[in-house]
Amino acid sequence: MLERRKLSIREKLLLGFGGIATAIFITVIYVFQALNTLKTVTEVDGEILAIQRQIIFIAALAVAAAAAIAIAVIRFVTTEMQVMDDQKIEFSALTSHQLRTPPTIIKYDTEILLSGDAGQLTRKQQQYMREIEHANQRMIDIIHALLNVSRMEMGTFSIQPQEVDICALVRSVSNEVRPVVREKHIIYTVSCTRIPKIYADPRLARIVLQNVIGNAVKYTENGGKITVSAYASERDLFIEVTDTGCGIPKEVQAHVFTKLFRADNARLLDPEGTGLGLYIARAIARNVGGKMWFESVEGKGSSFFFTLPRKGLRNKAGRSQLAIDSTMV
């Protein structure tokens, strides 16, 4: 005995809308048949009036049937979409715990082994452990990025505004990249004075800054320059990150904020990037009432701009918070 295959959401939607289209088609057929009947009538006005009433009655029944089918389909689709959304949220919550737990344990054990607390390692063993540590951190970053994308797209993340000193936040994220800045001999400048405090979500603002400043450091070659500036207008607070890095080719600039997109010159400098950072950053900017855009010339550098409304943000309840890049904290 053959097992019945379950219909996909797409197939159910097609069947539902097909039902609506059929009902409407039948309605039109009934109306036209009735009108044709009326045209052939040559009897007295009383009989014509009776036929007109019959036309109205038939057409009303057909329209009512089509409306009933349409309402039933809309209710069905709404229920199916709600179930699908609930399943997505449940899956996100499950992966949030199940996917992050093993790499966290590996990270903790690796740190213990490298510290020598469990016994001294040879140089070769230390090299292997550092490779494991690097690969494991890469996995953690990918998991965090994918979970953030999922939460952004489902709208399940929370916004928790509080009074934030943007200059202090900019300096904090700048300090996180100082080791790499020194290693690459980058001239790194922060210009941020007399900026009023605003009500914003410091966690979300940090994620945006980490992505934009992190990219500037990553794609600026040794001896280059990076400037992070913050300034305010009457309505918005602006953050600008300018670098003398590899720049973005003009022909691909329209795709920069696309999910998973990476320019070829960026891949050469950093083969391990996920292509999700700027997608997440701009999505955050839009969700908090701000904007993000950029200017870039290939081979000369880029400037990324991010705005926050000075009027502040409203609290938004959510089932989870977005994950911060732990490598920069």
- Residue 310, helix vs strand vs coil: coil
92's tokens: 């996100």
pLDDT for residue 202: 86
Contact 296/247 with Cβ under 8 angstroms?
Answer: yes
Alpha-carbon distance 259 to 275, whole Å?
Answer: 6
Which residue in 193, 284, 205 sits closest to 231, CA to CA?
193
- Look up the CATH superfamily of 162-328: Histidine kinase-like ATPase, C-terminal domain (3.30.565.10)
pLDDT for residue 127: 85
Local confidence pLDDT in tens for the 329 residues of the chain: 444 555 555 555 555 556 555 655 665 565 555 555 555 544 444 555 555 555 555 555 555 655 665 566 556 555 655 555 555 555 655 655 567 677 778 888 888 888 888 788 888 888 888 888 877 777 777 677 667 666 666 666 677 888 889 999 999 999 999 999 999 999 999 998 788 888 888 888 898 999 999 999 999 999 999 999 999 888 889 999 999 999 999 999 999 988 888 888 888 888 777 788 898 889 888 888 889 999 999 999 999 999 988 876 666 655 555 655 554 44
The pair phi, psi for residue 201, each rounded to 5°, is -90, 110
127's tokens: 């090299």
Report how far Cα 185 is from the mean position of its chain's Cα atoms: 34
Which residue in 328, 325, 209, 230 sits closest to 278, CA to CA?
209
State the angle between helix axes of 45-98 and 123-154 in degrees (0 to 180), rounded to the nearest 10. 160
329's tokens: 């904290």
- Tell me the pTM: 0.62
Q: What does the domain layout of the chain look like in residue ranges? A: 9-97, 99-154, 162-328
pLDDT for residue 83: 57
pLDDT for residue 325: 57
pLDDT for residue 16: 57
